[in-house]
Amino acid sequence: MIGDAVMRVNFREIVKAFLWLFILVLLFMGFNFLAQPVWMDWNNYDTVRGFYEEPKDTIEVAFFGTSCVVNSISPMELYENYGICAYNFGTEQQPLMASYYWIKEAYRKHAETLSTVVLDVSALRYIQDSAFYRKAIEGMEFSSVKYNAVKDYSNNFRETIANLLPLYAYHDRWKSMNDIDFQIARYLPNVCVRGYNFTNERYLDSNEPLLIPSFYVNSDEKQELIAEGIDYFERIVDFCDTNELNLVLVRLASWQPSEHNTVKDLAEAHGLELLDFSFEPLLGDIGYNWAVDSTDAYHANYYGAKKITAYIGDYLKTNYQLMDVRENEKYSYMAEQLDKYHALVSDVIQIKEMTDPSDYLSVAMQNKNYTIFVMAKDDAASRLTQEQRERFAVMGLAELAALDFRDSYLAVVDQGKVSHERRKSAVDVVTEPTVLSHSGELVGGTDYALESGGLANNASCLIDGIEYAKDQRGLNIVIYDNSLEKVIDTTYFDTYLSSVRDGENLANALDNETKLGKDYFELSAELQKLYLYNRRCENQRIAEYLKHNMAENGIFSYFSSYWKEDYIIYMSVMDEAAGALDTEARARLADYGLYALSDLGYRDSYLAVVNSGQIVYEMKNHDKTPISLRYIGHTLKSGGMDSEECRSSIVIDGVEYSPNTRGINIVVYDTVLKMVVDTAVFDTSVSVY
């Protein structure tokens, strides 16, 4: 009896101890979960968590590397257009060490299907801060792969254990925790993007000077690579060889020729191909335009990603035996992901590209997940057409249909229906301009506050205290996606100036306006900016191409490149420039109308000005005194070898541009950009090439 009682007491104590232990384990796991930083930027959280929701043995192509990969490769585009099941494992400044272990992790889960690894080689050039190792690795499931990865970026065993336990590694992070740290428990990863970070920001819209890319590798210089990068690169090559995985190297952002040359040598040493989208020919093959296809000087936006992804898709399908999984029942889940991808990305782009405000609102109102805010600033009525007003009325936006000069106006559309609309006529204002205001809550309880002042000249849309309105003249519109709990577009239509706008795809808009025969001054401010940028890029491309192929092209190819409208070619001879001008060369110069140059004598001085293909000035002599001239404020001088001053000078806006070297010195001036776009010298004493 006593023994039975003791046994019952002991059993209860054991159960109680196990319950307490279980609770302690749950608390420990919970605190570990909360202590782990939530890295949402660059799609980091969705990428890592989404991967572990992928069915086992399904991924065939995997991408690894830095944020350039995150923004440049859209796996759902590969699925939709090529039937490829791919995943993007890129993270912000991902070290090659992290790429190596993510390749091993991808293979651990998809050994039966993984066939091709596409690796960004950016990290071969620099050592990242420790935070980027953690961002890349800490979301990985615990396994021998993760343990070895953490061990590699830790300094000792104690640090390894600490880095495996977020509660220990981030024990004092509670001081900086915010709402997202507690909301993350109910957050569902956005798996439909499969690691791709969708953004539609434009480099053209930034206030910083826009990058003019280097189109050609015109240098043999090489940059030293870091030892860690080379070490893990070798490990990646060995792992892929051992497991019979195809390995493709890519570079998806601008870098220096010295970096390209070194990495290309490394690739060739291992029999690998480097797809470098920083230079020709690939830059031109995909038609990449930094101003509208990127968010900054390094990262692609949606339009750039479509171009890069399409090239990669063609390359993979052409060079490797990949499955087309679109009709495979095992991959039916990807069709569902594609529908969500369209809702998140493609449908948003469709709305953004609308050029007519009535089309824009009509399409946006069809999505029941959207809350749409419309605000008028200054005048938003002058160029609204009757057809647009009738369409607004059909949508239920009666006050918008009746909008008059400088009216204040607000509207809220929830789930496709107008929940609030108000207009205040500017003519009713007696003393001060009226500002309309309205506030409320979104579906999830987030506060919003709106303001519109026609005559008062303001438009505001505060959501959770953050301003989203463009605050530009015309109709300002903000779209909030309640399912994603974020703003997916903010734009404006200057309906005082025009009934339509350029749209989001400025490259197409500029092309269309050019085909209509519009000149620079008829373009909108945005298209003017893009036009000038494109012209600068084209000038750079031509200049680099000529230098890249100087040995084959020579002076005649140079002439033909700039012998066209809006370009001035300045020529000035120094020393001797006639020795290589044989009968054929002189005849070709005469064909250009350069008769004095075709008749150039030994050590003659020579000057010429060619404007828009027309020779406006040309002279030569053999006097002691150098010859000079002044043209549209630009000053030229030439002295042959026998003159008192053996030199070449071409001064434009107070700056000397002549190379001042033996032969024919040339400076090319763009009259549209009002700037020098190239300089060259041809030593025609020895060759015309």
Tokens 């197409």 locate to: 508
Q: How far apart are CA 343 and CA 481, in angstroms?
A: 10
53 shares a domain with 24: no
Element (H, E) at 481: strand 474-481
pLDDT value, residue 260: 92
Is the residue at 309 inside a domain? yes
143 shares a domain with 65: yes
Q: At CA 150, angle to CA 146 and CA 153, rounded to 5? A: 145
Domain end among 280, 306, 339: 339
Sign of CA dihedral 125, 126, 130, 132: negative
* 452 contacts 436 by C-beta, under 8 angstroms: yes
240 shares a domain with 131: yes
Q: How many domains does the chain have?
A: 4
Q: Is the peptide bond before 281 cis (omega within 30 degrees of 0)?
A: yes
What's the distance, CA 250 to chain centroid?
A: 16
pLDDT value, residue 165: 60
300 shares a domain with 373: no
pLDDT value, residue 344: 84
The β-bridge partners of 492 are 476
The β-bridge partners of 188 are none
Is the residue at 534 inside a domain? no
The low-confidence residues of the chain, meaning pLDDT below 50, are: 6, 25-35, 167-168, 170-171, 173-175, 181-184
Is the residue at 524 inside a domain? no
pLDDT value, residue 161: 64
pLDDT value, residue 147: 86
pLDDT value, residue 456: 84
Is the residue at 457 inside a domain? yes
Q: How far apart are CA 493 and CA 454, in angstroms?
A: 14
The β-bridge partners of 678 are 668
pLDDT value, residue 514: 87
Domain that holds residue 12: 1-35
pTM to 2 decimal places: 0.83
44 shares a domain with 26: no
Q: How far apart are CA 417 and CA 420, in angstroms?
A: 9
Is the residue at 60 inside a domain? yes
105 shares a domain with 78: yes
End-to-end CA distance of the chain: 112
